[in-house]
Amino acid sequence: MEEMDRLAKKLKKGNVYDKKRVLAGVYKQLAVSNKGKQANGEYRKLSDDFDLETAKFVSYVAENLHDVGMVRQANKLTIQYGMKMKKSGEQSLNEFYIDRTFGDSVPAENRERMLKAMEKYSGNAWWESKDPVEVAKGQIDEELLLVPYGKFIEGLEGILGRGVMEKEMAEGYDYELLKKRAKEAINSMGKPVCE
C-alpha cells in the first residue's frame, strides 16, 4: 500500500518527537473527533473507502501510536475502525490480527473463542503490543493463547527476570504457581495486571 510506504519512510526519518507529530497528524485524518470532525490530508480518503488494505494501514498506525506512548489514540482508532468494519460486514481488526498472526492454523471454534476474549478488553489491544512484557501481563489470565507462544514466554521471562522452562507451562506442572509469581513480580514493578 502506497500510503503505508510513505508513512513508514516519514517515521524512519525522525526522532520520537517527530514520530509523535507525524502520527498525531495521521490520527486526526483517520479518527472522527467527538464533535464529528476529521482533519483534511492525504490519509483522510482512506476512512471513506474502507477495505482490508485500509484495515492493515489503520492497524499499522495504531501499533505505531501505541509504541510512541499515544495509547489512548491507538485505542480510539482501533475501536472506531473495528466498529466501522463490523457494520460494513468486513473483517474486524481482531479478525485481521488473528489472520496476520496465526494464518489459517486456528480452528473456527478457537477463533470464535479468541474473538470473544478480545472483545472484553474494549480497545485495550494488548496483544498488538511489541513489548513482550505488556503482552504477558495481558495474556497471563487468559485461558486461550491470544499471542504467539514464544512472545508470551519472552514476556514472562522479562517479568520474572529468569528463564521459563517448557515444563512450567505444561498442564501437569503447577502453572498457577508460575502465574502467581509473575503477578507478584508485576505488582512489585508498580504496574497493575491488565484487566
pLDDT tens for residues 47-76? 776 676 787 888 889 888 888 888 888 888
- Residue 146 grid cell: 491470544
Structure confidence at residue 128 as a pLDDT band (50, 70, 90): confident
Identity of the amino acid at 17: Y
With beta carbons less than 8 A apart as the criterion, state whether 57 and 97 touch. no
| Mean pLDDT value across the chain | 84
Task: Tell me 40's DSSP state.
Answer: -
Least confident of 21-25, 33-37, 86-90, 166-170: 86-90
Question: What is the reported pLDDT for 143?
Answer: 87
Identity of the amino acid at 72: R
SS3 51: coil
pLDDT at residue 195 above 50? no
- Residue 189 grid cell: 514493578
Backbone dihedral region of 69: left (phi > 0), alpha (psi from -120 to 50 degrees) or beta?
left
CA distances from 190 to 87, 146, 183, 184, 195 (A): 39, 25, 11, 10, 15
Burial of 108 (C-beta count, 10 Å sphere; 0-12/13-18/19+): exposed
Residue showing cell 485524518: 29
| 50/42 Cα distance (integer angstroms) | 15
